[in-house]
Amino acid sequence: NEPLDTVRGQYDAMIGSLRRADGGRRGSCPILAVDTRLNLLRINVLANFEDEQMDAYIRTHNVILNPLHKQGYSTIGCNRCTTPVLPGEPKRAGRWRHLGPWSVYCGINPTDLDPLRAPAVDFPQDLIDRILGRSTDFMI
């Protein structure tokens, strides 16, 4: 988490991109979680996006992709923690090889390490609607 320590206390919330479709501990990542270390709310807006939904969004909205994806990098992190994924490996196998098995996480997302450090927050739907200023079509 060290890279983020420099912003501790400067923000009330952080938008992340964790997706349950990534599997492993992220298979149950919360949409909203309290990060007690950084003292902020983490909002994982893509938590419910399946791979097919992500692909469709990218195509529909002409999202520019990192060129490393075409070189075998199915997920991309920092340059020391990311390698191409080999045929037959899980899509996140290229991450953190130097730390051990592919299921190891670097720790920048506290829910990857210990869900109790970043407990999910259960907000009533009407509160979510008021915060967003509109009706929503999802439940947390």
Please tell me what DSSP assigns to residue 85: P
The Cα 93–Cα 86 span in angstroms is: 8
What is the fold of 2-132?
Rossmann fold (3.40.50)
Q: Is 106 a catalytic residue?
A: yes
Name the residue type at position 140.
Answer: I
Domain ranges of the chain: 2-132
pTM: 0.67
Compute the half-sphere exposure of residue 94: CA atoms within 13 Å on the CB side of its CA.
19
- For the cut 80, the answer to whether the pLDDT of residue 135 exceeds it is no
pLDDT-derived band at 18 (thresholds 50, 70, 90) equals confident
The Cα 21–Cα 136 span in angstroms is: 22
Long-range contacts of 50-54 (CB under 8 A, 24+ apart): 50/21, 51/21, 54/19, 54/21
Question: What pLDDT score was predicted for residue 108?
Answer: 67
Catalytic residue from among 29, 78, 81, 106: 106
Q: Which of 19-28, 102-111, 114-123 has the lowest mean pLDDT?
A: 114-123
- For the cut 70, the answer to whether the pLDDT of residue 26 exceeds it is yes
The dihedral sign for the CA sequence 66, 71, 72, 77 = negative
What is the separation, in whole angstroms, between the first and last Cα of the chain? 25
- For 55-100, how does the pLDDT look when each residue is reduced to its tens digit (9 = 90+)? 999 999 999 998 998 888 888 877 777 888 888 888 777 777 766 6
Question: What pLDDT score was predicted for residue 62?
Answer: 93
